[in-house]
Structure 1
Amino acid sequence: MKIKSIVMILAAAMPVMSLHAQDNLVNSLKNNKSDSSKQSFHFTNVIDLANTSVKNQGSSGTCWSYSTNSFLESEMIRMGKQPVELSEIYTARCAYVEKGINYVRMHGAVSLGDGGEPHDVINMYRKYGAVPKADYSGLNYGTTTNKFGELSAIMESILKAVVTNPNGELTPNWLQAYTGAIDAYLGKVPALFTYNGKAYNPQTFAQQVVGINPDDYVEFGSETDHPYYQKFVLLVPDNWAFGSVYNLPLNDVTDVIDNALKNGYTVEWSADVSEKYFSWKNGVAYVPQKQGDAMTEEERNTMFDGPKPELDITPEIREKAFDNYTTTDDHGMHIVGLAKDQNGKEYYLVKNSWGPSNDYKGYLYVTKAYVRYKTTNFLLNKNAVPKAIREKIGF
């Protein structure tokens, strides 16, 4: 996932969003301030599952890697293991190599960019293992946070040059040139590293220390034009691997997430976050009954001055938002708990990867209506899925 541009002319001009456009939207979300917000919302955490510290993805479209690696770290805690802060950029680096191979095989007929999906993290873990963040920061060129604009442009330039096939036949050297450019910016992957006094490579570290079985994880979406409880290919630009997800009826989406949280499992959550009623600064996301031009100026100015009535989300409303591009594949986050406001309404407690810069130090509260409306897909442990749904799916 990566944040979509609110400037539609950019979306029309480019098949994927520029990092500059992403940064502009993130900054606008961070500055979407209502002075009385924190004073007007009173949240009580009902479930607050263990998770590692809030990170900052910087100027990079790597939220999918940050959110899903955070999820895996919580899985280690749930399993009784000492959590290791995993390198999100190692995962991204591996995915960029696979994405480049896929792009060339498809003759350039897929999107580029540094976005991805939750299953990319699971797939990279399965094939390439994992590395502690301390041993692979990805900060190989003097910055303190990710800044991927130049790297993304160079990766795209190399791949586009390859698929033009200027020699009339692809050489065996293009992949070496491509990965060499990535390593120049992110650093070479260590063949061996030491953790707690013992040497590992990425594969042995994943097997012996992280200890997570990639077959234990499942991904879901909800669309009306596919059979329920069966797999379909998620047709969003960042699904470069053409991964499949299981299709759930709309109400099952929040039922599955609720069941997971109540049984000690966290959830990786991917969603559209470009709506005015998603406020990073205020740390609140909900779906007002009136939106856009239907709202008065006063309603827009007081959008986060306490709890408001919400739109009733139906499968038809949700599907229409996908079809007209008002719901797009924007951002990955980590659901780590459940809370109630002063009126008893439930919200999910969500960990983000934009640093501890908002009113809730890197977390936000998201209503179930927003999740039903704006979710694109989500990933969790199979054992967190209610038994009745597991039986319908067949696992």
Structure 2
Amino acid sequence: MLKTTPVKDQGQSQLCWIFAMLATIETEHLMRGDSVNLSTAYVARMALRQRIQDAYLAKGKRPIHLRGMASNALSAIADQGLLAYDTYHVEDYSVFSAFPKKAANLCKLAVAQQEGLVRLVQRYDNLADQSIGALPRAQFMLGAEYTLGEFGRSVCRHDEYVGLTSFTHHPFNAAFALEVPDNVNRDCLLNLPIDSLVSLTERSLRAGHPLCWEGDTSEPGFNFTQAIARIPEHSTAPTQQMRQREFETFRTTDDHCMAIVGLARDAQGKRYFIMKNSWGTDNAFKGFMFMSEDYFRMKTIALWAQRECLGA
């Protein structure tokens, strides 16, 4: 298993996409010998800040919420930088459950009064300071001072990760905007055959690179308490056509994100991916889970991998 930072707990928030992407970045740095623990609260705050501006310019016609994909977290880092966990965090992430509604009310008022973006952002920042905590002016790390943008760029380059998926309603080896509700910015993902996606995932892990996973966790075979995700025994081995049918008939749903941090095999030799979840540590493996290769093949929606692993 790759090195990881401590497992966190997203509480009742919808921030798995941030927790998982930051966990992936953290493990990438740990495997390079560079320890870093990053602020989910900061990324969530800045992502919602952008969303209320977008909603304002759409005259309030765009929904304001904190669901998303890992690509949204990467965009927020590229645009607004980063902070370390110890610099900016909350004790209970459930605060982010009610916060989007408060932000939406601000936006609604701003649209009605035609306040403009500057005033809206000022009001939002004041609300966020009260609800989440005031932002520091800089990030201090190992005796050095960084602006938030500098720290973000030092941790994650804007082109460091590539989004991947595997569906047959678009051509393989080309990018397309995946049609799931949480792809709020219609980010494009590279479409690969599922065999290629599995091979790339294994190759990345063996080379010391984690990945960010997004997929279906509503299946009976997904059990957090037992730390397992698997297809029922004696099921037919998943094929590309089977996963496509599950997706098109809405039996594969876009539920959750986790970091992939290792490989394992059971006593029968069946392969599993080790997943770092963000639901706390109250399960059989202290917050980690084992996802069977069959489950991965059938229920993966998207992955984010180090770009260098594509050509490996």
Q: TM-score, normalised by structure 1?
A: 0.74
Deviation at 1:200, TM superposition (A): 2.4
Mapped to 1, the partners of 2:311 and 2:293 lie a distance apart of 18
Mapped to 1, the partners of 2:58 and 2:294 lie a distance apart of 38
Runs of 4+ in 1 over 6 A off after TM superposition: none
Deviations 1:271-311 (A, max 9, x none): 110111100011111112xxxxxxxxxxxxxxxxxxx3333
Mapped to 2, the partners of 1:127 and 1:251 lie a distance apart of 34
1:187 to 115, 129, 133: 133
* Residue 146 of structure 2 corresponds to residue 200 of structure 1: yes
Q: TM-score, normalised by structure 2?
A: 0.93
2:39 to 80, 83, 87: 87
Are the equivalent residues in 2 in contact too, given 1:348–1:367 (CA < 8 A)? Answer: yes
Are the equivalent residues in 2 in contact too, given 1:270–1:331 (CA < 8 A)? Answer: yes
How many percent identity over aligned positions?
A: 29
Gaps of 5+ in 1: 1-47, 289-307, 388-395
* Residue 176 of structure 2 corresponds to residue 232 of structure 1: yes
Q: Give, as a single letter, the amino acid of the residue that structure 1 aligns with 2:143.
A: G
1:312 aligns to what? 237
2:201 to 257, 261, 269: 257
Are the equivalent residues in 2 in contact too, given 1:99–1:241 (CA < 8 A)? Answer: no
* Residue 259 of structure 2 corresponds to residue 334 of structure 1: yes
Mapped to 1, the partners of 2:76 and 2:44 lie a distance apart of 9
Larger mean Cα displacement after TM superposition, 144-153 or 364-373: 144-153
Mapped to 1, the partners of 2:5 and 2:126 lie a distance apart of 32
1:324 aligns to what? 249
Q: Give, as a single letter, the amino acid of the residue that structure 2 aligns with 1:190.
A: P
Deviations 1:201-259 (A, max 9, x none): 21222345x3x322121010111111111110122212122211111112222111111
1:158 aligns to what? 106
* Residue 119 of structure 2 corresponds to residue 171 of structure 1: no
* Residue 282 of structure 2 corresponds to residue 282 of structure 1: no
* Residue 81 of structure 2 corresponds to residue 129 of structure 1: yes
Mapped to 1, the partners of 2:42 and 2:211 lie a distance apart of 21
* Residue 170 of structure 2 corresponds to residue 245 of structure 1: no
Q: Give, as a single letter, the amino acid of the residue that structure 1 aligns with 2:116.
A: T
Mapped to 2, the partners of 1:183 and 1:324 lie a distance apart of 43
Are the equivalent residues in 1 in contact too, given 2:11–2:92 (CA < 8 A)? Answer: no
Matched pairs, number: 311
Deviation at 1:110, TM superposition (A): 4.0
For 1:1-395, what aligned pairs fall within 5 Å after superposition?
48-81=1-34, 83-137=35-89, 139=90, 144-162=92-110, 165-167=111-113, 169=114, 171-172=116-117, 173-208=119-154, 210=155, 212-288=156-232, 308-387=233-312
**Quick one: structure 1 residues 216 and 314, their matched pair in 2 at CA, closer, same or farther if it must change by over 3 Å?**
same
Are the equivalent residues in 2 in contact too, given 1:111–1:238 (CA < 8 A)? Answer: no
Gaps of 5+ in 2: none
Q: In angstroms, what is the RMSD of aligned CA positions?
A: 1.9
Deviation at 1:144, TM superposition (A): 4.2
Deviation at 1:178, TM superposition (A): 2.9
Higher relative contact order (CA 8 A, sep 6+): 1
Mapped to 1, the partners of 2:108 and 2:167 lie a distance apart of 33
Deviation at 1:171, TM superposition (A): 3.2
Are the equivalent residues in 2 in contact too, given 1:54–1:355 (CA < 8 A)? Answer: yes
Are the equivalent residues in 2 in contact too, given 1:259–1:385 (CA < 8 A)? Answer: no
Are the equivalent residues in 1 in contact too, given 2:14–2:97 (CA < 8 A)? Answer: no
